[in-house]
A and B are shown apart, each in its own frame.
Chain A
Amino acid sequence: MRPVLWYLALVGLPVAAMLVILRVGERLVPPRAVHGEYAVVFDSAGSGHCLSVLVPDGEKRLSVAQSGPKLDVTFGSLELFGTLDGDSLYVVAPTKDNALRRAASCLTRDTIAVSGALPRKGASDTHLIGSFLFPGCGMCPAVPFRAMPLPDRARGP
C-alpha cells in the first residue's frame, strides 16, 4: 500500500498539476512570429547609394532569427540585432569598417538600422514593410523596402 501512496504522491499529483498548468499557459500571449527568410524588394529603383556601399546590389534575401522579442537579422554580410515590440521591429548594427564615411562623407561612425512593421494579424498582405536607416549619416536617405516571407520559415541558422 505504501509504495502505491508514494507513487500517487510523487507521480500522480505532479501529472495532475501539469495538466492544470498546460491549460493556464494557453492564455499566455507570446510575441508574433517574424523569423524566417524574406525576399526583399526595394520600393525605389535600387537599394540606394549608401546601402550598396555596404551590401552588394544583388542581395535580396533577408534572414530573421528570433528568440522571443529578440531578433537577429542578416542581410548580406550585415548582422543586425534588436527587438520586436508588438508589430514593430527595430534592429541595428555598427558596420565593420568606415565604408560609409569614405563613400558618403558621413561624420560619425557607420551605423545601419532596419525599422519595420509586420502586417496586421490575419491580413491578406503578409509583406513586412520597412526601411534601411543610416542614423550616423545625414547624407544617406532611408531606403524603403518590402519583404515577402519565403516558404519554410526556419527558426535560425
Chain B
Amino acid sequence: MPSPLLLLAQIAIILLCARVLGRAMRLIGQPKVVGEMVAGLMLGPSLLGWLAPGVSTSLFPTASLGFLNALSQIGLLFFMFLVGLELDAKLIRGRGHAVLVSSHASIVAPFLLGVILALYLYPRLSDDSVTFTGFALFMGAAMSVTAFPVLARILQERGLTKTRLGAVAIACAAVDDVSAWCILAGVVLIVRSADATIPVPLMVGGSVLFVLVMLTVVRRALGRLEVTYERWGGKLSQDRIAAVVFLVLASGWITERLGVHAVFGAFLAGAVMPKGEAFVREFRDRFEDVMVVLFLPIFFAFTGLRTSVALIGGDMWLYMALILLVAVVGKMAGCAFAARASGMDWRESWALGTLMNTRGLMAFVILNVGFDIGVISPALFAMMVLMALATTFMTTPVLEWVYPERVRLRAEAPSKPELVAASGGHR
C-alpha cells in the first residue's frame, strides 16, 4: 500500500504545476484550464516519464495510482454535478430556430464525420473486443462534445456574454451538453451490454426509470430545498449541503450500477436542482473553489498519467492529423453553416463555430469514460486527448481572428440578464 506521504507529495506537485501552468497560459491569453490540462499531461509518461523515468516512477508508482484515480473520480462526480447545476432551460428558451438548427447541426456534423472516420480507424486502432457500432458511436460522441464551462469562461473573458453571439453560443453549448451526455449514456449502455453483469432490459429499463424519478420526484423534493433556503434568508445549513452531496453520490452509484456511468448520475443530480439564481450561486460558491483548485487538477493529472504520446508513432501521426481535421471541420464548419442558414452573418457564424469547437475538459471526461469501458485503445486515447487540447487551445486565437475586437465593439446591445449569471459559471 502506498504511503500517505507519497499521496500528499503527489497532490502538492500536481497543484503546484497546475497553478504555474495555469498562470503561464493566462499570460498568452488562454484560459487557465488549458494550462491545467497541459500540466496534467506533463506529469505523465509523455514528458516527465520520458525526461526522467526514475523520478516519474518514484513519484507516481503504478501501485499508487488507485488513490489518485479515486480522488479524481470523486472530483469528477462533483464537477459534473456543477455542470448540470449550471444548465438552465431558460438559456435555450426563446432563442428560436437558430439555436435549435445550429446546436443540432453542430452535434450531427462532427458526429457523422467521426463515424465516417471510424471506418478508417477501427481496423487500425481497435480490436475485436469492441464492436464497430460501439467504436463508431463513441468516436462520434467524442468529436461532437462542447465544453460548456470553458466556453462560458471564454465568452466572459472576451466580453461577449451580452452579445447575440454569446447568447446563441451559450444556448447551443447547453443543448450540445445535454445531447452529448444522452448520446454517450446510450453508447456506454451499448458497449457494456455486451458483457453486462445485469440483464440488458434491466439496464435500459432501470436507466429510463431512474431518469423519470429524478425528473419528477427528486426535482419536486429539491424544489422544497430552495423554498426553505429562501425562507431562511438565503442560508444553506450543513445538513442540507450534506443531503445534496448524498444525492450526488447516490445518483452516481445508481447509474454506475445500472451500467451507464457514475458521471451521468452526478450530472443528472445537478440538472434537476432548482435553478434560482441565488440558490445556484450559493451551491456554486460552496463547491467551486475546492473543485477547481484541488480535484480538477488531480483529474487532469490522472488523465495525463494515462496518456502516453510515445504510443503515437509512424503512421499514427497521420491518424492523429485526421482526427484533428475531422474534429475541427465537423464542429466548426458544421456549426457555422447551420448558423448561417439560420440567419446569422458569416462572421458571427464562424465565430460561433469556433466557440463550439472548444472541447476542453468535457472531452477529457468522455475520453476517460471510453478508456474505462475499454472502447478506445491507449494510442487512440492519447490522440484524442491531444485533439481535445488542440481544439481548446485554438479557440481564443481563432476567435480573435474571425471575430476581432473592432467587430466585437460593434456587437449588439445586451441581451437577457440571465446570460450574465450563466457565463459567470465555473471555469
Contact = CB atoms under 8 A, between A and B. Distances in A.
A10 B136 contact: no
A70 interface: yes
Chain B interface size range: 35 or more
A155 B311 CA distance: 13
Contacts of A26: 131-133
A10 B127 contact: no
Given A3-B97, A33-B129, A67-B125, A10 B341 contact: yes
Interface in B124-153: 124-133, 136-137, 140
Nearest to B107: A11
B133 A21 contact: no
A41 B311 CA distance: 28
Given A155-B371, A157-B306, A25 B105 contact: no
Interface in B356-383: 371, 374, 376-381
B378 A72 contact: yes
B79 interface: no
A34 B311 contact: no
A30 B83 CA distance: 37
B311 A67 contact: yes
A21 B119 contact: yes
B122 interface: yes
Contacts of B118: 25
A157 B68 CA distance: 14
Interface in B2-28: none
B187 to A, nearest CB: 12
Given A21-B116, A26-B132, A28-B132, A66 B127 contact: yes
A67 B380 CA distance: 7
Contact of A17 (B112, B119, B131, B379): B112
A120 B153 CA distance: 54
Contacts of A14: 108-109, 111-112
A29 to B, nearest CB: 7
B62 A157 contact: yes
A49 interface: no
Interface residues of A, number: 34
B225 interface: no
A7 B376 CA distance: 32
Contacts of A154: 374
B352 interface: no
Contact of A21 (B101, B125, B136): B136
A68 interface: yes
Nearest to A20: B115
Contacts of A7: 97, 100-101, 104
B73 interface: no
A104 interface: no
Contacts of B306: 156-157
A131 B116 CA distance: 40
Given A10-B341, A67-B378, A22 B136 contact: yes
B123 interface: yes
A139 interface: no
A22 B115 contact: yes
Contacts of A34: 127
A102 interface: no
Given A30-B122, A155-B377, A18 B112 contact: yes
A78 to B, nearest CB: 14
B379 A67 contact: yes
A24 B311 CA distance: 29
Nearest to B314: A70
A68 to B, nearest CB: 4
B109 A70 contact: no
A113 B108 CA distance: 46
A3 B101 contact: yes
Contacts of B126: 30-31, 68
B104 A11 contact: yes
B56 interface: no
Contacts of A32: 127-128
Contact of B122 (A17, A25, A33): A25
B342 A6 contact: yes
Pick the 7 closest A-B CB pairs, nearest first: A67-B379, A156-B378, A33-B129, A67-B377, A25-B132, A33-B127, A10-B105
Interface of B: 45, 62, 97, 100-101, 104-105, 108-109, 111-112, 115-116, 118-119, 122-133, 136-137, 140, 305-306, 308, 311, 316, 334, 337-338, 341-342, 371, 374, 376-381
Given A30-B122, A31-B127, A157-B378, 5 more contacts: A10-B337, A11-B108, A28-B119, A70-B311, A72-B378
